[in-house]
Amino acid sequence: MTLSRGSETMGERTFSVELIEREPADAYDQARIVISAPTSLKDTQLLSWSSAKGDDQQWLVTPRTQRAQRIADRGRQAAFVSSTFSYEDILKWQVDDYDYVRSGQGPCPAGSCVIVDATPRNRFSSYSRLKAFYDDQYRLSKVEYFEDGRDRPRKTLVHSGYVRQGATWQPSRSVMTDHATETTTDIVWSHYQLNVAIDERVMSPSSASR
Residue 53 lies in a domain: yes
Portion of the chain with pLDDT greater than 70, in percent: 99
Q: What is the CATH classification number for the domain harbouring 64? A: 2.50.20.10
* Euclidean distance between CA atoms 175 and 158, whole angstroms: 5
pLDDT band at 99 (very low <50, low <70, confident <90, very high): very high
* Euclidean distance between CA atoms 130 and 143, whole angstroms: 7
Among 85, 65, 20, smallest CA distance to 47 is for 20
> Where does residue 191 fall: left (phi above 0), alpha (psi -120 to 50 degrees), or beta otherwise?
left
Full domain range(s) for residue 54: 2-201
* Euclidean distance between CA atoms 77 and 89, whole angstroms: 8
Residue 209 lies in a domain: no
pLDDT at position 53 is 76
The type of residue at 168 is T
pLDDT tens column, 29-85:
999 999 999 999 999 999 999 987 778 999 999 988 888 999 999 899 999 999 999
pLDDT band at 209 (very low <50, low <70, confident <90, very high): low
* Euclidean distance between CA atoms 3 and 187, whole angstroms: 9
pLDDT at position 210 is 58
The 3-state DSSP class for residue 97 equals helix
Q: Rounded to an integer, what is the distance from CA 176 to the centroid of its chain?
A: 10
pLDDT at position 184 is 98
Portion of the chain with pLDDT greater than 90, in percent: 80
Give the count of domains, the chain: 1
pLDDT tens column, 107-155:
999 999 999 999 999 889 999 999 999 999 999 999 999 998 888 999 9
Task: Find the mean pLDDT for residues 83-94.
Answer: 94
Task: Find the mean pLDDT for residues 88-102.
Answer: 93
The type of residue at 110 is A
* Euclidean distance between CA atoms 82 and 9, whole angstroms: 13
Say if residue 38 is preceded by a cis peptide, omega within 30 of 0.
yes
The answer to whether 47 and 59 are in contact (CB under 8 A) is: yes
Residue 210 lies in a domain: no
Residue 123 makes CB contacts below 8 A (sequence gap 6+) with: none
Residue 126 lies in a domain: yes
Residue 208 lies in a domain: no
pLDDT at position 174 is 98
Residue 125 lies in a domain: yes
The answer to whether 114 and 133 are in contact (CB under 8 A) is: yes
DSSP 117: E
* Euclidean distance between CA atoms 35 and 49, whole angstroms: 18
Residue 183 lies in a domain: yes
pLDDT tens column, 169-186:
999 999 999 999 999 999
More confident residue, 209 or 52: 52
pLDDT tens column, 156-169:
999 999 999 999 99
Residue 207 lies in a domain: no
> Where in 42-182 does DSSP place strands (E)?
45-50, 57-61, 68-70, 98-108, 111-120, 129-134, 140-146, 155-160, 163-165, 168-170, 173-178
